[in-house]
Amino acid sequence: MSAPMGRVRNDKALIALIVGFAVLAAVVAGAVWLSVRHDQAIRIMRHTLEVENRLADVTLLIQEAETGQRGYILSGRAEFLAPYNVASTRLEPDLARLQNLVSDNPRQVARAATLRTLASDRMRFLRENLARHAAGESPSELADRLEDGRRIMEDLRSVMLVMRAEEDRLLALRTEQVAADGLRLRIALVASGLAVLALGAFAFADARRRLRRALETGQSLASANASLKAEAESREAAEAQVRQFQKMQAIGQLTGGIAHDFNNMLAIVIGSLDLAKRRLKTDVAKAEACIDSALEGASRAAQLTARLLAFSRLQPLEPRVLDINKLVGGMSELLRRTIGENLRVETVLAGGLWRTHADPAQLENAIVNLCVNARDAMPDGGKLTIETSNAHLDDVYAAAHSEVQAGQYVMISVSDTGAGMPAEVVERAFEPFYTTKGVGRGTGLGLSQVHGFVKQSRGHVKIYSEPGVGTTIKIYLPRNTGEVDAGDTHVRPVGELPHGKPDEIILVVEDDERVRHLSVDALRELGYTVVQASDAAQALTVLTLQPRVDLLFTDVIMPDLDGRRLADKAREARPDLKVLYTTGYTKNAIVHNGMLDADVAFIAKPFTIEQIALKVRQVLDA
């Protein structure tokens, strides 16, 4: 046989198989469709029967209620009220289920509503009869009202008969449909069987010829499969490289932003200290100015570290139960100094505002950050609005925002009438070091710090913005039902630092020698008697030898034994020992779920003499 004739035969066989399978597929698809249609018709029939059963139940309940009520009035025997009581309990739920069952038929829905009204009227009529009987009316006197009851009952029966007739009509139609679909389904199944037999015979005859060709092409298919597998592995490796590149790009952006800002601040610190050292002997005033500049740079570096910890949700929070209205009201002077006089500031404080549980200092910082962003968005002036309200984030909102838990929240919003943000900027607004401001006008950490603080406080933050209209940023903090924390009400004169007494003894525990000496010098400068230890073991020895220690001031992260376990061991011997912790970073020892433990006093590194003076005095006086 020549090659062209073989190809013609193969083509004819292939066409025949394709046509046969197409016919078989059409028949099978028709059979499946008929089967589905048949099942649907059966379900509809069952639905119709269920409606009829429910109608029968409602009819029976009303009749039994009437019979029971009549028997009780005539005989005075309480057991006759049992059917009436059952009907009073079940009738309304049964009518509701009936109305739900016929919800697919508008005419039946209207009739079911009428039936429900008439049934309610009938039960009210029966209740009135019982009430009149209880008031002393005789059965003969109650018989005068039978005409009203008979009219209601006739209307009930009329509606039920119409509904039942409608369901009977639908049942008859659906029964005919089931029978017709069953016949068509049987025909389709027979046709499917015949098509399978015909295709099987043809396929068997053609199989032997194709088998040889399949064996010949098997090797080439295996080779192609191996090639595809290698290509898939190569593509997977390329995608992994892309993901790694994106990860490194994000890390690069973060580290680049950190390096840029820290280098700027270190340039200020190092340069200012270098100048101060040169000018200390020749011009003390200029040297002091250089030292002030260095302190400012170091303070900005500390703020940057705090913002990074806030963004990463690792800052140790000291939450209290807060009245947000009181907190916002007390920020007016701070906001006036921060945003200047160019803007109109309006506060809208909700009455009956719920309380929340949050770190007040960090919340104030978040509000200030938002107000500064709003100010920068309105260089030519405008209106800034700070609003508080109660809010409920429902399940629908929570489903659309996977990180949100549905529930009650206290909402603080900051709105401006500035330029607004396009969608692509809103999408990236919380990324660290991402900013649309000009060079030198922002670090790009303000919103990321707000986002980190809110998430660490188990809250939610949302941006609403429209270019040319303005921006609203809403902070949602979970509702708390505790009492408001009165906080520190002591007013300290400006410039005055609380000092210690020589007989107040503080044990400083710090493994870094320079930091330890700095802490010791600061506390001695404040008037305290200070003893020191370089690690936990040495501190326990000092506590054993020292007859009296008023305060243990310890670093948290130390080798061998951390500060928390040191404090626990120290308190075994001295239960009344007061403890103040300090660290530049902590995650587990005294902070859990982002919150400081309830019994913990803490001051973050780096700290100023003013901060340590206030904190030590607060702990000693507690």
What is the Cα–Cα distance from 338 to 343, expressed in whole angstroms?
A: 11
What is the Cα–Cα distance from 370 to 462, expressed in whole angstroms?
A: 12
What is the Cα–Cα distance from 452 to 434, expressed in whole angstroms?
A: 15
* Domain boundaries, position 69: 11-207
Tokens 């940023």 — which residue?
473
First to last CA, the chain: 108
Shared domain check, 611 and 464: no
Stretch 360-376: mean pLDDT = 86
What pLDDT is stored for residue 443 in this prediction? 53
Please indicate whether residue 19 or residue 611 has the higher confidence score (pLDDT).
Answer: 611
What pLDDT is stored for residue 433 in this prediction? 64
User: Domain holding 475: CATH number?
Assistant: 3.30.565.10
Continuous segment of H or E residues that includes residue 355: strand 355-358
What is the Cα–Cα distance from 234 to 167, expressed in whole angstroms?
A: 65
**What letter does residue 466 receive in the DSSP assignment?**
E
Boundary residue ending a domain (444, 463, 480): 480
pLDDT at 597 over 90: no
Class of residue 488 by CB neighbours under 10 A (exposed 0-12, middle 13-18, buried 19+): exposed
What pLDDT is stored for residue 193 in this prediction? 76
**Percentage of residues in the chain with pLDDT exceeding 70?**
76
Range ranked top by mean pLDDT from 176-190, 258-272, 346-360: 346-360
What pLDDT is stored for residue 230 in this prediction? 86
What pLDDT is stored for residue 334 in this prediction? 74
Tokens read off for 332: 């007016």
Q: Is 219 a domain residue?
A: no
Burial 108-133 (b: 16+ CB within 10 A, else e): beebbebbbebbebbbebbeebeeeb
Shared domain check, 110 and 192: yes
Predicted confidence (pLDDT) per residue in 209-241, tens digit: 777 777 778 777 888 888 888 888 888 877 777
pLDDT at 102 over 70: yes
Tokens read off for 547: 């007859």
DSSP string, 259-283: HHHHHHHHHHHHHHHHHHHHHTTT-
Shared domain check, 558 and 469: no
Measuring CA to CA, which residue among 500, 518, 512, 445 is closest to residue 614? 500
Q: Is 285 a domain residue?
A: no
What pLDDT is stored for residue 506 in this prediction? 93
Stretch 507-517: mean pLDDT = 90
Residues 6 or more apart whose Cβ sits within 8 Å of residue 453: 310, 315, 317, 359, 362, 363, 365, 366
What pLDDT is stored for residue 140 in this prediction? 63
What pLDDT is stored for residue 54 in this prediction? 79
What pLDDT is stored for residue 591 in this prediction? 55
Boundary residue ending a domain (192, 207, 222): 207
pLDDT at 476 over 90: yes
What is the Cα–Cα distance from 474 to 391, expressed in whole angstroms?
A: 11
Q: Is 454 a domain residue?
A: yes
Shared domain check, 599 and 554: yes
What pLDDT is stored for residue 388 in this prediction? 92
Predicted confidence (pLDDT) per residue in 320-357, tens digit: 888 999 988 888 777 777 777 778 888 888 888 999 98
Please indicate whether residue 268 or residue 4 has the higher confidence score (pLDDT).
Answer: 268
What pLDDT is stored for residue 162 in this prediction? 83
Shared domain check, 167 and 56: yes
How many domains are contained in the chain?
3
Q: Is 127 a domain residue?
A: yes
Shared domain check, 535 and 451: no
**Percentage of residues in the chain with pLDDT exceeding 90?**
11
Please indicate whether residue 363 or residue 35 has the higher confidence score (pLDDT).
Answer: 363
Please indicate whether residue 87 or residue 374 has the higher confidence score (pLDDT).
Answer: 374
Continuous segment of H or E residues that includes residue 474: strand 470-480
Q: In residues, how long is the chain?
A: 622
SS3 (DSSP) at 583: strand
Shared domain check, 522 and 460: no
Q: Is 230 a domain residue?
A: no
Please indicate whether residue 405 or residue 332 has the higher confidence score (pLDDT).
Answer: 405
What pLDDT is stored for residue 494 in this prediction? 43
Boundary residue ending a domain (447, 480, 513): 480
What pLDDT is stored for residue 294 in this prediction? 66
Q: Is 545 a domain residue?
A: yes
Shared domain check, 579 and 470: no
Range ranked top by mean pLDDT from 27-36, 210-219, 229-238, 516-525: 516-525
What pLDDT is stored for residue 481 in this prediction? 75
Strand partners, 460: 476
pLDDT at 33 over 60: yes
What pLDDT is stored for residue 302 in this prediction? 58
- The pLDDT confidence band at residue 312, using thresholds 50, 70 and 90, is very low
518: left (phi over 0), alpha (psi -120 to 50) or beta: alpha
What is the Cα–Cα distance from 501 to 517, expressed in whole angstroms?
A: 20
Least confident of 163-172, 386-395, 504-513: 163-172
- The pLDDT confidence band at residue 2, using thresholds 50, 70 and 90, is very low
Please indicate whether residue 457 or residue 508 has the higher confidence score (pLDDT).
Answer: 508
What is the Cα–Cα distance from 443 to 55, expressed in whole angstroms?
A: 72
CB 481 within 8 A of CB 357: no
Shared domain check, 190 and 66: yes
Least confident of 72-81, 485-494, 526-535, 613-622: 485-494
Shared domain check, 157 and 99: yes
Residues 6 or more apart whose Cβ sits within 8 Å of residue 106: none
Q: Is 575 a domain residue?
A: yes
What pLDDT is stored for residue 409 in this prediction? 93
CB 150 within 8 A of CB 126: no
Shared domain check, 34 and 89: yes
Give the neighbor-by-neighbor strand order of the sheet with 602-604. Answer: 529-533, 505-509, 551-555, 578-583, 602-604
CB 554 within 8 A of CB 542: no
What pLDDT is stored for residue 579 in this prediction? 92
- The pLDDT confidence band at residue 489, using thresholds 50, 70 and 90, is very low
Averaged pLDDT score across all residues of the chain:
77
Q: Is 175 a domain residue?
A: yes
Tokens read off for 504: 């107040």
What is the Cα–Cα distance from 461 to 481, expressed in whole angstroms?
A: 21
Shared domain check, 145 and 46: yes
What pLDDT is stored for residue 214 in this prediction? 74
